[in-house]
Amino acid sequence: FNASEADLKLYQTIDCPHQPLGVKFSSTKDLLLLAKEPDYIMSYTAVTVENDLFSVKENDSCVALKQVAEKDAISMPATILECDPKSGKLKVLKEKEERGGHKPWNDSKRLELAKQANYRRQKRKRERRREEKALAGGANDDES
């Protein structure tokens, strides 16, 4: 396989009434879309009907989720970047995942630790520069 010769081919587009907030393939090979009300969740199943690869499928779990959401008047954000006006925080937060065993290079916490270490490194670097400037400024005063 030569990666430079790889080709992507569009087989089908799926019309969604709202911008999806999340997309996932289920274990039964259904494509699930999380969206704004009144749809909340849509399920597409892979079938071959007149050259269409996906068709809309209402399954029992989607219907049950919609009924609960409508009953409780749950308001979904229009995009994943929508902020709560009171707190200013994002309405939709992605949960951090722990990937593949306990290998340190697969730990999702490593990114946070690396960011903190980088911040401390940059802070030390700025402090050293300030000290060097202060010493260089003091040395210039002695020469006059």
Amino acid at 134: A
Q: What is the pLDDT of residues 27-80, one digit of tens each?
A: 777 788 888 877 788 887 766 666 656 666 666 677 788 888 888 888 887 777
Taking residue 35's Cβ as centre, other Cβ atoms within 10 Å add up to 19
Q: What is the pLDDT of residues 88-136, one digit of tens each?
A: 887 777 665 555 556 666 566 777 888 899 999 999 999 999 999 998 8
pLDDT at 4: 59
User: pTM for the complete prediction?
Assistant: 0.47
pLDDT at 95: 63
pLDDT at 140: 61
